[in-house]
Structure 1
């Protein structure tokens, strides 16, 4: 059991009573790790391969269709010149979400749905090696994370990851950063239901053996924050420094820019 302080102020209820916290649930991409360089490379490659395959398989289509497809995919993925939109599908969505977005864009330039879906599968098969630890731009832990994890462990707070990455991707990141022992449970895109369904929070809490009203959740997307609120999590925090473009976080939720802004104080056990 512990209490959390944001920039020295206790995270408390309306009466000023600090919330007793037993667990912290963390989003992964953009919160636990800086994955933007990897995701930018991945999204760019998906655009390139989609346009290339479209041209090869449908040489009868005008060149303008390929240009239209590139624009559609860039918008769908949230791909900018040197950045990723932190609220876009690449940053927030799962692999399957992005695959459907790709197929939808292909359908918009004239392909039937079965063929659009099959071509999308080919694009993803060609680019999956650029994701996660297979990428030369491997995700790294956000600055100060190791110190926070140490403080949480010393205070007896258990931690878990709730992410739309697959389980293998989460495990690989944690192992690469020597963080695996810090996390007692994972909830990934391989689990059902997926986030942002509030039931995903309850299922993860059940794994931990801790009620949602004794947890905090920290994420970089409004979908994370609202999910936690709907699940009855009392301490919901936005994290704003995982992307080169600041995520457009709902101002109703407190936000931190560096892990040193969050302090942990071990508290007495409360029944």
Structure 2
């Protein structure tokens, strides 16, 4: 742990309040897919991972962990692959713009990022959102200048839980995977950390994951990234 020099963050649920940011966006897309039928839209939201009884997204669901391509495939199974690919481009544009415009930072996230940057850590984002969406969100949060890179599902050959984003970050920074901490709120974040041989797999409870679902794969479970600077300082 003393050799950790770089940190890759998941975006939604780790830097950004997932529930506050994404329900309205997902609902608009579901209504479009349902042709304006409210009941059908709610069914699409449910199958993609929204729990209407608990008013939150389910951990490791398509909404919480998947890509826009996964959502399009789930909601439009009858559409030919080429047409779905074109629809995914539209989803990417829409979610990039709306996700940035409506992004709600998690409490203490900006301060934690600033502290980690000041401490000399190389910072990046690895998300199953689009790369453009990640970059626009970092700009909207006012923290883009502190990040070396953002990797969306479309910025690497294979998205999370594959290790590609960690390998790309290592290529960029010259760090080894063992010098990287991966921080996220879903199991696929931790699966990517293990697949890449990352030095530290950090789970946070600020998103859709639970302690029960995350702890078996995490080196440490924190309430949020607000605790990360202090944790790394104490272990350094």
Distance 1:218 1:86 in 2: 16
Name structure 2 gaps, 5 residues minimum.
none
**CA deviations over 1:45-92 (Å, ceiling 9, x no partner):** 233222227x8xxxxxxxxxx96x556523331122232223211121
Spell out the pairing of 1:179-258 with structure 2 (5 A cutoff): 179-191=143-155, 192-243=157-208, 246=210, 249-252=213-216, 253=218, 254-258=220-224
Alpha-carbon RMSD = 3.2
User: Are residues 248 and 91 of structure 1, via their aligned partners in 2, closer, same or farther at CA, if it must alter by over 3 Å?
Assistant: farther
Alignment-derived partner of residue 29 in structure 2: 46
Name structure 1 gaps, 5 residues minimum.
1-17, 56-65, 108-112
User: Are residues 188 and 119 of structure 1, via their aligned partners in 2, closer, same or farther at CA, if it must alter by over 3 Å?
Assistant: closer
Alignment-derived partner of residue 51 in structure 2: 80
- Aligned-pair distance for 1:259? 3.0
Alignment-derived partner of residue 233 in structure 2: 265
Query: Which of the numbers 162, 168, 176 marks the counterpart of 2:132?
Result: 168
Spell out the pairing of 1:105-116 with structure 2 (5 A cutoff): 107=78, 113-114=79-80
Q: TM-score, normalised by structure 1?
A: 0.73
Distance 1:127 1:207 in 2: 25
- Aligned-pair distance for 1:125? 4.7
Spell out the pairing of 1:96-175 with structure 2 (5 A cutoff): 96-104=69-77, 107=78, 113-114=79-80, 118=83, 125=90, 129=94, 131-134=95-98, 138-175=102-139
Equivalent pairs counted in the alignment come to 229
Of the two, which has the highest radius of gyration? 1
Distance 1:136 1:179 in 2: 12
- Aligned-pair distance for 1:242? 2.7
Larger helix percent = 2
- Aligned-pair distance for 1:128? 5.8
- Aligned-pair distance for 1:121? 6.1
